[in-house]
């Protein structure tokens, strides 16, 4: 099929040499029966009818070109089929190829833009970043990947772009193939997730502040600061409407007070001046954040006078059990308030109400506890005073009694009353109105009894080995009376006829039990005295009081008297 054409070219070469083609391709069948592609270069030797021809086997080249063409067709088909942005940029920074999807999304006409400089097709801020990436690929001859925000008016999109170097046979980069994927939804989700994390962090900081803040003012100022930060607002306020319809301001940005020279917590008039009609009623009916992004600056400047200029505002209601109780106002975000700000304030407003109510309940409870503590202190004080009045009356009465035994009974009652009065005195003076330092109590009671019973205190030495342990009032009173009886007995009877001696008091905790030991090196108790069956009033009282604290008492008579009292406070108080 090639022979007629070749003969025609040869005949033409003789008749009109300038019209005959010098280069063309044809096919032959070699001696092995294989078809070969031949490239021929033929020219007429001037002044003769002879021709000079050179031929070259281009079979492999043509096969390679066919494969390349097939590959290009396949990849072009693939590029046109995928919903991704596919493009090719050459070394002159010109657009050589763009697939249909990218052209449609970027609103470009392929016939008009192919061959044009890239910088004419994209906005300046995008051009600079793209240019740096492309230059880098040409330099390092390796693939690069990056994310960037592309703004093609009126839309913006996030792209995840892969730039692949296309190299020639020498390994030099001739072009760059770009494949970009629209990741706008992913970025919006990441932004939403990040925003949610910020909201949760803000809510956590508010709830933490509800615990650590000293008072409601400190809490509400922190709440306002959190709201301003999360919405990027310049300033704001929090106000509450009471049952009478009066507006009470809970917090206000201090910067505003200086800017507009307002009296403290006097921001509400701005809402009136802005003429946001029926704001309270609107928020009561539709308790969702309201956004105002369209204030006219010129009108506002005339309208507000000395008040700060309001460019935009977000107002979020505060709801208690679904009922409207107040609002948060946030002003002058650099950009417009948006959906994310509204959602953030919906969540945070709920947390603020929860924190505010918790703080108020805490302060109310604290006041009640303070009042109760004050009342208990007053009771202890009056009980102590009444006991001391009773001691004074007993003292006055005993002064007129001539019978020694009767006067002794009065004196014993006085010491018992004073031991109880001392406990009540310790309690109302203590930081803890339910417990007293019993070691300290023993020191005071022992000294008081010493002064009361021993005229010559030098002949009896008092040794005290005491741990500072706190006891509940229900334990301290009976234990104090036990100590009073035991010390009184030692001081009155252990050292007759002016004998010298030592009285030792020990108080400590061993394992889970409290131990109180009162001992002396005096004449000791009578051998036939059974403390469990005694008929003396003092020891009967001790036995009764031991039962009251669910303790036990033991007596040793070696070298004097040693009486040990043991009890476990938790047992009978639980």
User: According to the 3-state scheme, what is the secondary structure of 450-492?
Assistant: HHHHCCCHHHEEEEEEECCCEEEHHHHHHHHHHHHHHHHHHHH
pLDDT digits 0-9 by tens, 139-160: 888 998 888 888 776 678 888 8
- Long-range residue pairs from 494-499, CB within 8 A, at least 24 positions apart, any chain: 494/520, 494/521, 494/522, 494/523, 494/524, 494/560, 494/561, 495/459, 495/460, 495/520, 495/522, 495/523, 496/523, 498/456, 498/459, 499/459, 499/523
Q: Which residue has the higher pLDDT, 417 or 193?
A: 193
3-state secondary structure of 64: helix
Distances (CA, A) of 387 to 8, 308, 356, 438, 488: 145, 67, 46, 20, 19
Confidence at residue 319, expressed as pLDDT on a 0 to 100 scale: 86
For 531, list phi and psi in degrees, rounded to 5: -65, -25
| Angstrom distance (rounded) from CA 105 to CA 121 | 13
Confidence at residue 496, expressed as pLDDT on a 0 to 100 scale: 86
| Angstrom distance (rounded) from CA 237 to CA 250 | 8
How many other β-carbons are positioned within 10 Å of the β-carbon of residue 395? 12
pLDDT-above-70 percentage for the chain: 84
Report the candidate in 251, 247, 261 with the shortest Cα–Cα distance to residue 228.
251
How many other β-carbons are positioned within 10 Å of the β-carbon of residue 71? 10
Q: Which residue has the higher pLDDT, 389 or 87?
A: 87
| Angstrom distance (rounded) from CA 421 to CA 418 | 5
CB 323 within 8 A of CB 284: no
| Angstrom distance (rounded) from CA 276 to CA 172 | 67
pLDDT digits 0-9 by tens, 90-140: 989 898 888 888 888 888 887 888 888 888 888 777 788 888 888 998 988
- C-alpha gyration radius of the chain: 51
First to last CA, the chain: 117
Q: Which residue has the higher pLDDT, 487 or 570?
A: 487
Q: Which residue has the higher pLDDT, 385 or 291?
A: 291
| Angstrom distance (rounded) from CA 346 to CA 376 | 45
Q: Is the pLDDT confidence value at 216 over 70? A: yes
Confidence at residue 302, expressed as pLDDT on a 0 to 100 scale: 47
User: According to the 3-state scheme, what is the secondary structure of 72-88?
Assistant: HHHHHHHHHHCCCEEEE
Confidence at residue 261, expressed as pLDDT on a 0 to 100 scale: 47
Average pLDDT over all residues of the chain: 80
Band of residue 427 on the pLDDT scale cut at 50, 70, 90 = low
pTM above 0.75, yes or no: no
Band of residue 262 on the pLDDT scale cut at 50, 70, 90 = very low
Confidence at residue 81, expressed as pLDDT on a 0 to 100 scale: 67
Q: What number of residues does the chain have?
A: 574
Band of residue 264 on the pLDDT scale cut at 50, 70, 90 = very low
Confidence at residue 566, expressed as pLDDT on a 0 to 100 scale: 92
List strand residue ranges (DSSP E) for 80-217, in order: 85-90, 95-98, 144-152, 155-167, 173-182
Distance of CA 428 to the CA centre of its chain: 41
Q: Is the pLDDT confidence value at 272 over 60? A: no
Confidence at residue 464, expressed as pLDDT on a 0 to 100 scale: 92
Across the range 55-72, mean pLDDT stands at 74
176 DSSP β-pair partners: 89, 165
- Which domains are present in the chain? 3-57 (no CATH), 73-182 (3.30.450.20), 190-365 (3.30.450.40), 434-573 (3.30.565.10)
Q: Between β-strands 460-466 and 501-510, what pairing exists: parallel, antiparallel or unpaired?
A: parallel
Q: Is the pLDDT confidence value at 330 over 70? A: yes
Peptide bond into 154 cis (omega under 30): yes
Across the range 257-264, mean pLDDT stands at 51
Does residue 255 come out as left (phi exceeding 0), alpha (psi in the -120 to 50 range) or beta? alpha
Q: Is the pLDDT confidence value at 5 over 60? A: yes
Q: Which residues contact 483 (CB under 8 A, 6 or more apart)?
A: 419, 442, 445, 446, 505, 516, 518
| Angstrom distance (rounded) from CA 417 to CA 385 | 11
3-state secondary structure of 279: helix
CB 345 within 8 A of CB 314: yes
| Angstrom distance (rounded) from CA 169 to CA 182 | 33
337: buried, middle or exposed (CB in 10 Å: 19+, 13-18, 0-12)?
A: buried
CB 454 within 8 A of CB 490: no
Confidence at residue 306, expressed as pLDDT on a 0 to 100 scale: 58
Report the candidate in 486, 387, 473 with the shortest Cα–Cα distance to residue 438.
473
Q: Between β-strands 155-167 and 144-152, what pairing exists: parallel, antiparallel or unpaired?
A: antiparallel
| Angstrom distance (rounded) from CA 475 to CA 573 | 9
Q: Which residues contact 422 (CB under 8 A, 6 or more apart)?
A: 384, 441, 444, 445, 448, 480
pLDDT digits 0-9 by tens, 470-504: 888 888 888 888 888 888 888 888 888 888 999 99
| Angstrom distance (rounded) from CA 251 to CA 237 | 6
251 DSSP β-pair partners: 238
Confidence at residue 182, expressed as pLDDT on a 0 to 100 scale: 87
Confidence at residue 114, expressed as pLDDT on a 0 to 100 scale: 86
Confidence at residue 508, expressed as pLDDT on a 0 to 100 scale: 94
């Amino acid at each position: 099929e090639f022979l007629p054409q070749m003969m025609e070219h040869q005949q033409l070469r003789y008749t009109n040499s300038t019209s005959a083609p010098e280069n063309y391709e044809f096919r032959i069948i070699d001696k092995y029966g294989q078809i070969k592609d031949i490239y021929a270069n033929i020219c007429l030797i001037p002044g003769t009818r002879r021709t000079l021809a050179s031929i070259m086997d281009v079979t492999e080249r043509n096969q390679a070109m066919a494969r390349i063409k097939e590959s290009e067709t396949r990849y072009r088909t693939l590029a046109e089929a995928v919903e991704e942005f596919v493009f090719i940029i050459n070394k002159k920074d010109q657009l050589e190829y763009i697939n249909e999807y990218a052209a449609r999304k970027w609103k470009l006409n392929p016939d008009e833009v192919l061959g044009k400089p890239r910088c004419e097709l994209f906005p300046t801020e995008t051009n600079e970043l793209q240019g740096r990436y492309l230059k880098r690929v040409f330099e390092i001859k390796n693939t690069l990947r990056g994310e960037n925000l592309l703004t093609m008016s009126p839309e913006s999109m996030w792209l995840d772009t892969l730039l692949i170097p296309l190299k020639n046979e020498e390994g030099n980069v001739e072009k760059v193939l770009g494949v970009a994927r629209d990741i706008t939804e992913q970025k919006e989700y990441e932004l939403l997730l990040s925003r949610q994390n910020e909201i949760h962090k803000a809510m956590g900081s508010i709830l933490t502040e509800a615990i650590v803040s000293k008072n409601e003012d400190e809490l509400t100022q922190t709440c306002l600061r959190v709201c301003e930060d999360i919405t990027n607002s310049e300033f704001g306020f929090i106000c509450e409407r009471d049952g009478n319809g009066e507006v009470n301001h809970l917090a206000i940005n201090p910067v505003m007070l200086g800017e507009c020279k307002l009296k403290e917590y006097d921001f509400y008039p701005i809402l009136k001046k802005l003429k946001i009609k029926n704001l309270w009623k609107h928020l009561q009916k539709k308790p969702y954040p309201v956004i105002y992004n369209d204030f006219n600056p010129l009108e506002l400047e005339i309208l507000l006078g000395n008040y700060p200029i309001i460019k935009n505002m977000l107002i979020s209601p505060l709801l208690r059990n679904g009922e409207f109780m107040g609002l948060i106002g946030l002003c002058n975000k650099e950009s417009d308030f948006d959906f994310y700000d509204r959602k953030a304030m919906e969540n945070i407003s709920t947390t603020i109400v929860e924190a505010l109510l918790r703080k108020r309940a805490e302060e109310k409870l604290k006041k009640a506890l303070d009042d109760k503590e004050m009342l208990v202190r007053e009771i202890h004080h009056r009980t102590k005073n009444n006991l001391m009045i009773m001691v004074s009356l007993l003292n006055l009465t005993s002064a007129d009694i001539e019978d020694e035994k009767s006067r002794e009974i009065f004196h014993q009652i006085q010491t018992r009353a004073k031991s109880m009065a001392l406990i009540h005195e310790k309690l109302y003076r203590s930081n803890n109105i339910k417990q007293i330092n019993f070691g300290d109590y023993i020191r005071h009671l022992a000294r008081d009894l010493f002064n009361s019973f021993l005229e010559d205190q030098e002949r009896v030495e008092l040794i005290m080995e005491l741990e500072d342990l706190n006891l509940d009032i229900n334990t301290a009173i009976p234990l104090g009376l036990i100590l009073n009886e035991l010390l009184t007995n030692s001081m009155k009877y252990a050292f007759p006829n002016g004998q010298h001696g030592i009285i030792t008091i020990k108080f400590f905790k061993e394992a889970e039990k409290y131990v109180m030991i009162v001992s002396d090196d005096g004449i000791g108790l009578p051998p036939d005295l059974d403390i469990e069956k005694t008929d003396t009033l003092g020891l009967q009282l001790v036995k009764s009081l031991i039962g009251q604290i669910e303790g036990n008492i033991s007596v040793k008579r070696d070298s004097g008297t040693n009486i040990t009292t043991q009890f476990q406070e938790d047992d009978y108080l639980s």
